[in-house]
Chains A and B, each alone.
Chain A
Amino acid sequence: MEENGPFDMGNIDIAWCPGCGNFGILRALKRSLEDMALSPSDVVIVSGIGQAAKTPHYLRCHIFNGLHGRALPPATAIKSVNPGLTVIAESGDGDMFGEGGNHFIHAIRRNPDITNIVHDNMIYGLTKGQASPTSMEGMETPVQVSGVILEPFNPLSTAIALGAGFVARTFSKDVEMTMEVIKEAIRFKGYALVDILQPCVSFNRLNTFQWFEEHTETIDDDHDVKDRVESFRLSLQRDPLPVGIFYKNGNREAYHDLLDAYKDIEDPLWNRVLDRREKLEKDIGELH
């Protein structure tokens, strides 16, 4: 890992298992932010709970490490209160799609200008190996003793169906591709989903590094990322799992650009005058 980059924390204790896919994601994220010449004080990473949600602690930036499943609501609010910040919401598949599933749906509908990075290892790691919403059917766990019987959640199809403007999937081992996709997602104005396939070396015996290598396939260069129907079709493909940018269409305005609060004033909310006496005097008078 880079030792002296602006986002590097130096010699810190990282709580991940040796060989965890999270390391590749952290590396790709740091390099993306550096490549984009962002300063740590420009960037807020919001996360939930789980091993993936610890990521912001391992790079220098502002951190909002909130509740399980609840990264997207504060991330949306942070960006809308101060649109000058680069806001990333980052957590695992259980956090974003299970506990936070409702927020996932509605964040896409709101279209805040944030990047949503999901560490998708198809299992619950920190709670020791139960099924996650993206676990494959048939996977046996201490809880799903006869194998998973639920249809796996398909975040990419869901996002495209809901009108997300940027939808991508990468594999954590491919740091270069992950980096390029993250950079493009951050640059994208609007909600951007980057679902990153990642092995859990401690609990997921099914979806290993080797399994992902054998069951992923880079999306063809000639795929039209503006074609929503074709992107949706591609997102339904299960084996091999396509990786790359599925869909990219900046035809929707970002949430904060539609807010009344920015119609007359551009300043972030913290930099505005708090003396409202004159207008209030008028409003109170109208109760006559």
Chain B
Amino acid sequence: MRYPRENWDDISIVICGEAGQGIQTVEEILVKAAKRSGFHVFSVKEFMSRIRGGTNSTSIRIGSDTVRAPVKRIDIAVPLSDDAIGHIRWRMDEGTTILLDPDLSGRPDEDVPVTILEVTLKKKAEKIGGTIYQNIISAGLISSLVGVERSVIDGIVEDRFESSSEEVRKNNRKALEEGYGMGLEIFGSGGMETALKPDEEVKKKIAVKGVHSISLGAISGGCDFIASYPMSPSTGVLVDLAERQHEFGIIAEQAEDEISAINMGLGAWYAGGRAMVTTSGGGFSLMSEGLSLAGMMELPMVIHLAQRPGPATGLPTRTEQGDLFLTLFSGHGEFPRVVFAPGGPEQSFDLAWRAFDIADRFQIPVILLTDQFLVDSYTDIDRKEFELRVPLRHIIKTDTDYLRYRFSMEGISDRGIPGYGEGLVNVDSDEHDEAGHITESMTTRTLMVEKRMAKWEALKKESIEPQLIGPGKGDVVICWGSTLEIVKEAVGSIGQDVSILHFSQIYPLHPGIGDILGGFKRKICLENNFTGQFARLLRMETGVEMDHLMLKVTGLPFTVEEVAESLRKYLHQDGGDR
């Protein structure tokens, strides 16, 4: 029996191979299998922008306690292609065990003292029916190593391939048998044993991918129309809603481009639908005129922007937080907007619901800002965290004297829709009068600008306060969106009294932010971008300067180790130099 590391109840498993080898399937199967066995689980993948070939990896953390963030270290590596080891070598150390198929040509560096356990994958897969079955063999192997019951993994694989041919299902069963048996052999010969302890409560949880939490939250918020153009990493929301179009009466349209998508969305809201669009930075850029139209017409709109590194095409399948300013400043002219940035699946579900509510009540565009890391990550959560609420429709039945843009103190006019009531509903991209007709009257123009901008005050009042974790004084790490759990674990691991301030609402900021920030000593802002956009926003809004920035632009999410290391380094020096 061998414990490669202390606390061997939090295991980082990495499966690496080419696109097309079915690594994603292994991920989905193992996430479910671990959770159903009572283990906490977290997974994230990194992959190249190609359909076949290249080198991709998925990292799965299985733990006795909550695991919700990526780690650099690899405890068990399963390479499935010749280039796999080279691809993940930088993450290996003396605690890494490689389940190595001798038929692969790739070998670890001599100077990295990893443990190698030989396993035959490729030849066994070929014997079963093709190299593709390496993926299910691997799934079986890992399952048995971490202590997933055979019946659990069997059930998951059966369900997963329910609609496949009898031959494929039969071969998968064989592959599972082989893999699981291999694991038992290694285990039995004292190759390794884990210290994982299952928790009955975890079995009752759900294993959710970030993107599904956005989609389900949107459905809960009453979304009944989505028009979008496929763009990684945002497409999952379109797929999720299209899958459920019959169940929930959703119109899901693949638009010819993002310009059409947002204009369709606005048409849908105008006529009484509840629309959203999902896109990434490039598509959002095309939508910026439509965003401005929502501002002028005072139409609700929900936009999901899943960030990837730019500029331009950038790294299409990877992650970054570089579009914060894009969401704040895109769209010509001045108009109110709200930007949410969820820090995990619970917040994703909640904020997607809230996006519909705020958009509808205030008749403004609301942006849900996520990223590839968040949408592609799986984690186990308590299903009660998805609070099911019923949204209200903020529309009125119109009378013959209805005026779409009737002036009001708080800037919000009753929203009528065509076909409900006697009134006429006129919306215009030109500056308009209360009836919605074109005007160039300077008085009306000024009043209309004031009316639209009057919504700011109420929006600020409803702004979500940042979540404070820790003592609330001394040093603080400020973060936003998807990085929450990474920062939580990293700060927890350095054993010092450091607070965390996480923002899930980026704009408008809560009015009390300046005071909150003023209460801290050293302020460190962590962002997955180059320029520290959120730190700049905080300075712009509050005048408060950050003492230190922790930034990353490789296209990968931060790991717990690198954040902890970087924090330690900074905190142990006295200065506040940047």
> How many contacts A-B (CB < 8 Å)?
200
Is A283 an interface residue when CB atoms closer than 8 A count as contact? Answer: yes
Is A149 an interface residue when CB atoms closer than 8 A count as contact? Answer: no
* Contact call B247/A279, Cβ cutoff below 8 A: yes
Knowing A74-B264, A77-B275 are in contact, say whether A261-B249 is a contact too (CB < 8 A): yes
Task: Scan B264-280; emit 1 where CB is below 8 A from any A CB, else 0.
Answer: 11111011111100000
CA distance A14 to B275 in the complex (A): 34
CA distance A2 to B344 in the complex (A): 61
* Contact call B251/A259, Cβ cutoff below 8 A: yes
Task: Scan B354-393; emit 1 where CB is below 8 A from any A CB, else 0.
Answer: 0000000000000000000000000000010010101111
CA distance A271 to B212 in the complex (A): 27
B435 nearest CB across to chain A (Å): 9
* Contact call B245/A260, Cβ cutoff below 8 A: yes
B497 nearest CB across to chain A (Å): 37
Knowing A63-B436, A284-B386, A288-B36 are in contact, say whether A82-B289 is a contact too (CB < 8 A): no
* Contact call B222/A276, Cβ cutoff below 8 A: yes
Interface size counted on chain B using CB atoms at 8 A: 68
Task: Scan A52-94; emit 1 where CB is below 8 A from any B CB, else 0.
Answer: 0010010011111111001011111110111011000000000
Chain B residues touching A, majority SS = mixed
**What A residues does B390 contact at CB under 8 A?**
274-277
Knowing A40-B424, A84-B419 are in contact, say whether A64-B224 is a contact too (CB < 8 A): no
**What B residues does A274 contact at CB under 8 A?**
222, 390-393
CA distance A80 to B245 in the complex (A): 14
CA distance A46 to B216 in the complex (A): 32
CA distance A285 to B246 in the complex (A): 19
* Contact call B206/A287, Cβ cutoff below 8 A: yes
* Contact call B273/A276, Cβ cutoff below 8 A: no
**What B residues does A81 contact at CB under 8 A?**
225, 251, 267-268, 271-273
- Residue from B245, B290, B386, B427 within 8 A of A64 (CB atoms): B427
Is A105 an interface residue when CB atoms closer than 8 A count as contact? Answer: yes
Task: Scan A254-288; emit 1 where CB is below 8 A from any B CB, else 0.
Answer: 00000111011100111110111101110111011
10 tightest Cβ-Cβ pairs between the two chains A and B: A270-B272, A74-B267, A77-B267, A73-B263, A106-B256, A287-B206, A62-B418, A81-B273, A63-B426, A77-B264
Q: Taking A40-B424, A80-B225, A284-B386 as given, write out 6 further A-B residue pairs in contact, using a Cβ cutoff of 8 Å, ordered by the A residue number.
A: A62-B418, A80-B253, A80-B268, A82-B417, A264-B249, A287-B206
Q: Contact residues of A with B, CB < 8 Å? A: 15, 40-42, 44, 46, 49, 54, 57, 60-67, 70, 72-78, 80-82, 84-85, 102-103, 105-106, 110, 259-261, 263-265, 268-272, 274-277, 279-281, 283-285, 287-288
11 A-B pairs in the complex with CB atoms less than 8 angstroms apart: A41-B423, A66-B263, A66-B267, A70-B260, A73-B259, A74-B264, A77-B265, A259-B251, A274-B222, A275-B390, A279-B248
